[in-house]
Amino acid sequence: MLVLAFDTATPAVTAALHDGERVLAESTTIDARRHGELLAPTIERVLAESGASLRDVTAVVAGSGPGPYTGLRVGLMTAQGLSTTLGVPSYGVCTLDAVAFGSGLAEPFLVATDARRKEVFWGRYADMRTRVEGPFVNRPAEVPVDGLPVVGAGAALYPEILGSGSGVPPYPSAGALAALAAGRLAEGAPLDPPRPIYLRRPDAVVPGAPKRVTA
């Protein structure tokens, strides 16, 4: 098994390789505006560091969001393209699940990431592996925290409402994403296809018909 995983659903452009037992290489760059420019070099970097080639990859995994439309589609389209080119399966894993798995928490908690528009994407977890609610998009004050710890960039953005989330990386790690997917594949657990989780319509829309000008 050699799983290539990456995520572009947040400002973190992150990629990793996992051989079914451990992360062989991982690289992350924080840049919310350059997903399309950074993903391919990031993938090339982790391949070079691990001494592997694309032809060695047996599965491709992309973070499926929720996240902004433009960044999210970069990773998912790349996953679909690599799957077709290499003849290997591709899968999508909820980006919130990657943040949760990277937290290492064994008790109930929430993950919240930045949804822009003064909102957060969030989900509730029984532990680092088990999502029990979500994903949803809400204003921070509408998230039912109920005294649980909240991790992710959303907690860092709205600490007065969601808590600090200190000690847990705010963005998804491709290493965590790869390890989570590799574990599910080894167990024979089903994985979703690489389809986006948007939760709301994109900001960019097709212009409507021009209005008729009357004299």
CB atoms within 10 A of CB 211: 6
Mean pLDDT of the chain: 91
**Residue pair 67/81 in contact by the 8 Å Cβ criterion:** no
Question: Per-residue pLDDT tens for 120-147?
Answer: 999 999 999 999 999 999 999 999 999 9
**Residue pair 158/139 in contact by the 8 Å Cβ criterion:** no
**Residue pair 59/22 in contact by the 8 Å Cβ criterion:** no
Question: Per-residue pLDDT tens for 148-196?
Answer: 999 999 998 999 999 866 678 889 999 999 999 999 999 999 899 999 9
pTM for the full predicted model: 0.90
How many angstroms separate the CA atoms of 32 and 46, rounded? 20
